[in-house]
């Protein structure tokens, strides 16, 4: 709260109570030191006249004859067009013994098509100054093209070729496999990556594709065959399981024709329904530790599954999160960083998908204060989970969410991707355009209620990746049984290699 507003509010209250005249008489003017010439600076300046509020972009919805949906948003600010082709199956399409398959598909996809080698493809993209990336996610794979608007046509040719005609040449598959395995090994030394993998396992369970280490395991990646990649592509890369999201400098009718030329002949085919195992039941709270003896910090993560994006509580939960740990001034960062000086940052986040949501507190703390930090986080969360959010905190959270929208939706990259996310998680495309009204109507009671319902730390498993020698006193916090998973997490357990694992194919 600003000093300026606080003063004027106080003045109003005083006047309303008729108190102003009942204050003690002011001392004679001469006794008061002359105000410094910069006293006017004491007050936060009044706001200028408000301008019309931001209205988040909402795309036009079209479709091609093969039912491929197209979202279009024109924006001529810069001569750039972004086209995101979203495949609506990602890690959730990984078979149980093929962890990392969707990641593998994404990594090989732009390594060459039936008519272009990987070098030809790369050279043609670079000649256009176009950027094409393929990103796997839990619920989809995104092919994201950013091109200059006057090279739209040749750039779209390349996007379509990558999506529809990937070659999966054995040499490219094996090269990518080697790089992937190297990357997996790298993750096993990286405290942040180790913490993330432990969190995923806790949230989704070791039987669920989302509960696997990101990118799979050494064994699973070794066992993936070229045929698995081809089959994943043939099964899920279908117009009825895809979406085109476009933002930028184009003419709608013209780009629709261009898209129809390139994607119109893509044949639909029924996509098998996903058969994911149920999420694990909440068990007793545990504390997972992974020893990083040489680390000077500990990574802390407290996490829980929450609710799907479409739940009526989702907006209140997002708002509750911001006040607890989303802003620089929020409780967690304020206490752990600004009061204690134990961390560079301690924040919480919420994310949603169609099936569930995730709340997580995350930060790195100086190793010798690992247990102290956990104690503080626990105390802050316990207090917050009583529903004691203040009116100021609520206002700051709401303002923060609203005022971050123009920047979050400033670039064509962000806008095109946001439309895909909204679709994937089952929210309407005007979600952000209508957000101000819904957020404005959100009451403090509501936010307090969801804080109590979802943010009680006594149910949140804890992950600590850091030096074991700094965990003295952890048991006394009584957060739950402590489970040391160092060997498993770092891949040091003597697990036998699957007998059928082919070395290379």
Partner 1 sequence: MRPRAVVVSLILLLGASRALGATEPSIPYQEFTLPNGLRVFLSEDHRAPQVTVNVWYHVGAANQRPGRSGFAHLFEHMMFSGSQHVPDPDKVLAAIGAGLGGAANGSTNFDRTNYFETVPASQLPTALWIESDRMGFLLPTLDEKKLATQRDVVSNERRQRYENQPYGRAALELCDTLYPKPHPYYHCVIGSVEEIQAASLEDIKAFFREFYAPRNATLAIVGDFDPKVARELVTRYFGDLPGGPEPKRPDVPQPRLDRVVEKTVPDPVARIPQLQMVWNGVKPFAPEEAAGDILSVVLGGSKTSRLYRRLVEEKQLASGVYAANASLGLGGYFQIVATVRDGHTVAELRNEVESVLDELRKNGPTASEVERAKRMVVGGMVRSVERASGKADQLNAYAFFTGDPGFLPKDVARYKAVTPAQVHEAVRTLLPPDRLLVMDIEPASAPAPGARP
CB of 423 to partner 1, least distance (A): 22
On the 0-12 / 13-18 / 19+ scale of CB atoms within 10 A, 392 is exposed
Among 269, 328, 390, 501, binds partner 1 (CB under 8 A): 328
Please say which residue, 21 or 182, places its beta carbon nearer to partner 1. 182
Looking up tokens 């709340």 gives 359
**Cβ distance to partner 1 smaller for residue 52 or 437:** 52
Stretch that binds partner 1, among 21-29, 87-95, 196-204, 400-408 (CB under 8 A): 400-408
**Which positions ≥6 away from 257 have C-beta within 8 Å?**
none
Query: Tokens 């959100």 correspond to what residue?
Result: 442
Would you say 202 or 322 has its CB closer to partner 1? 322
State the residue for tokens 């408000």: 50
Q: Would you say 75 and 64 are in contact if contact means Cβ atoms under 8 Å apart?
A: no
Q: Taking CB under 8 A as the criterion, which residues in 18-37 touch partner 1?
A: 37
* Contacts with partner 1, 223-262, as mask; x by CB under 8 A: ----------------------------------------
CA distance 294 to 273: 46
Q: Contact between 297 and partner 1 (CB under 8 A)?
A: yes
* CA distances from residue 325 to 181, 271, 313, 442 in whole angstroms, order as listed: 35, 40, 18, 19
Report the residue from 69, 191, 252, 264 that binds partner 1 according to the rule CB under 8 A: 191
Q: Identify residues 130-149 at the interface with partner 1 (CB under 8 A).
A: 130, 146, 148-149
**Among 169, 188, 354, 444, interactor with partner 1 by CB under 8 A:** 188
**Whole-number Å distance between alpha carbons of 173 and 18:** 80
For the record, the structure tokens of 169 come out as 């040449």
**What is the number of helices (H) and of strands (E) in the chain?**
17, 12
- DSSP β-bridge partners for residue 132: 145
User: Minimum Å distance from CB 26 to partner 1?
Assistant: 23
Site for partner 1 in 78-107 (CB under 8 A): 78-80
User: Residue 347 CB, nearest distance to partner 1 (Å)?
Assistant: 10
Interface with partner 1 by CB under 8 A: which range of 273-281, 307-315, 381-389, 398-406? 398-406
Q: How far does Cα 456 stand from its chain's mean position?
A: 22
CB of 337 to partner 1, least distance (A): 6
Q: What whole-number distance in Å separates Cα of residue 140 and Cα of residue 142?
A: 6
Closest approach, Cβ 269 to partner 1, in A, equals: 21
Of 203 and 246, CB closest to partner 1: 246
Tell me, residue by residue from 360 to 389, as one string, x for binding to partner 1 by CB under 8 A and - for no binding: ----xxx-----------------------
For residue 209, the 8-state DSSP code is G
Which CB atom, from 203 or from 300, has the smaller least distance to partner 1? 300
**Nearer CB in complex with partner 1: 12/475:** 12
Given the rule CB under 8 A, which of 73-81, 267-275, 348-356, 444-452 is the region that contacts partner 1? Answer: 73-81
The C-alpha atoms of residue 60 and residue 245 are separated, in whole angstroms, by: 10
Is residue 119 involved in binding partner 1 (CB under 8 A)? yes
Concatenating the DSSP letter of every residue in 17-50 gives HT-GGGSPPPPPGGGSPPPPTTGGGGSPPPPPPP
Tokens of 36: 């410094």
Binding mask 150-179 for partner 1 (x = CB under 8 A): xx-xx--x---x---x---------x--xx
Centroid of chain to Cα 22: 56
- Least spacing, CB of residue 64 vs partner 1, in Å: 19
Pick from 10, 11, 13, 126: which binds partner 1 (CB under 8 A)?
Answer: 126
Per CB under 8 A, the segment of 17-25, 46-54, 270-278, 436-444 that binds partner 1 is 46-54
* CB count in 10 Å sphere of residue 275: 8
Residues contacting residue 353 through CB under 8 Å, at least 6 positions apart: 138, 139, 308, 309, 424, 425
List binders of partner 1 among 403-462 (CB under 8 A).
403-404, 406-408, 410-412
The owner of tokens 């194919």 is 505
Q: Which stretch binds partner 1 (CB under 8 A): 12-20, 187-195, 228-236, 302-310?
A: 187-195
Comparison of 190 and 286: residue with beta carbon closer to partner 1:
190
Q: Could you tell me whether strands 482-484 and 287-291 are parallel, antiparallel, or unpaired per DSSP bridges?
A: parallel
| Piece of 15-23, 25-33, 303-311, 494-502 that binds partner 1 (CB under 8 A) | 494-502
Which residues in the 474-493 window bind partner 1 by CB under 8 A?
490-492
Nearer to partner 1 (CB atom), residue 174 or residue 456: 174
The Cα 418–Cα 84 span in angstroms is: 10
* Nearer residue to partner 1 within complex by CB, 208 or 396: 396
Single out the residue of 84, 194, 192, 99 nearest to residue 145, CA to CA.
Answer: 84
Cα separation, 472 vs 454, in Å, equals 29
Is there a contact between 465 and 362 (Cβ–Cβ < 8 Å)?
A: no
Q: Is 54 in the site for partner 1 (CB under 8 A)?
A: yes
**The binder of partner 1 chosen from 372, 400, 453, 459 (CB under 8 A):** 400
Q: How many residues bind partner 1 (CB under 8 A)?
A: 103
Is 265 a binding residue for partner 1 by CB under 8 A? The answer is no
Largest CA distance in the chain: 95
Closest CA to 166 of 134, 194, 195, 197: 134
Residue 338 found at the interface with partner 1 (CB under 8 A): yes
């Amino acid at each position: 709260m600003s000093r300026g507003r606080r003063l004027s509010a106080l003045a109003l209250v005083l006047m309303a109570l008729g108190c102003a005249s009942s204050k003690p008489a002011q001392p004679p003017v001469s006794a008061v030191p002359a105000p410094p010439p910069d006293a006017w600076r004491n007050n936060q300046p009044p706001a200028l006249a408000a301008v019309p509020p931001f209205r988040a972009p909402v795309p036009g919805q079209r479709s091609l004859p093969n039912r491929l949906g197209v979202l279009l948003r024109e924006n001529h600010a810069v001569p750039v067009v972004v086209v995101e082709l979203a495949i609506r199956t990602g890690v959730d399409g990984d078979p149980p013994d093929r962890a990392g398959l969707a990641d593998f598909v994404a990594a090989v996809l732009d390594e060459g098509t039936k008519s272009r080698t990987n070098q030809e493809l790369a050279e043609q993209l670079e000649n256009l100054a176009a950027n094409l990336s393929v990103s796997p996610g839990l619920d989809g794979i995104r092919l994201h093209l950013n091109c200059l608007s006057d090279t739209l046509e040749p750039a779209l040719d390349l996007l379509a070729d990558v999506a529809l005609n990937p070659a999966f040449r054995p040499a490219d598959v094996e090269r990518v496999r080697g790089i992937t395995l190297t990357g997996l090994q790298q993750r096993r030394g990286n405290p942040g990556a180790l913490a993330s993998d432990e969190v995923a396992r806790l949230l989704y369970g070791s039987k669920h594709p989302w509960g696997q280490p990101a990118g799979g395991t050494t064994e699973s990646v070794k066992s993936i065959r070229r045929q698995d990649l081809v089959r994943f592509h043939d099964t899920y890369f279908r117009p009825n399981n895809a979406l085109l999201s476009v933002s930028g400098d184009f003419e709608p009718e013209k780009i629709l024709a261009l898209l129809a030329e390139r994607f119109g002949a893509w044949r639909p085919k029924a996509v098998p329904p996903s058969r994911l195992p149920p999420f694990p039941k909440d068990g007793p709270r545990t504390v997972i530790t992974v020893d990083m003896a040489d680390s000077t910090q500990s990574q802390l993560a407290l996490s829980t599954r929450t609710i799907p994006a479409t739940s009526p509580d989702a907006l209140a939960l997002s708002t509750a999160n911001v006040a607890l740990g989303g802003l620089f001034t929020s409780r967690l960062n304020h206490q752990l960083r600004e009061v204690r000086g134990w961390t560079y940052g301690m924040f919480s986040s919420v994310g949603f998908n169609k099936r569930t949501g995730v709340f997580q507190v995350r930060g790195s703390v100086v190793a010798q204060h690992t247990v102290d930090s956990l104690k503080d986080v626990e105390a802050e969360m316990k207090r917050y989970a009583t529903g004691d959010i203040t009116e100021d905190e609520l206002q700051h959270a709401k303002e923060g969410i609203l005022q971050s929208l123009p920047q979050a939706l400033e670039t064509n990259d962000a806008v095109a991707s946001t439309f895909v996310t909204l679709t994937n998680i089952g929210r309407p495309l005007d979600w952000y355009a209508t957000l101000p009204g819904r957020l404005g109507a959100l009451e403090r009671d509501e936010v307090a209620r969801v804080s109590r319902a979802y943010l009680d730390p006594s149910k949140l498993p804890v992950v600590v990746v850091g030096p074991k020698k700094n965990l003295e006193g952890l048991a006394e916090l009584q957060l739950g049984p402590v489970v040391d998973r160092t060997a498993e997490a770092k891949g040091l357990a003597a697990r036998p290699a699957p007998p059928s694992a082919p070395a290379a194919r």
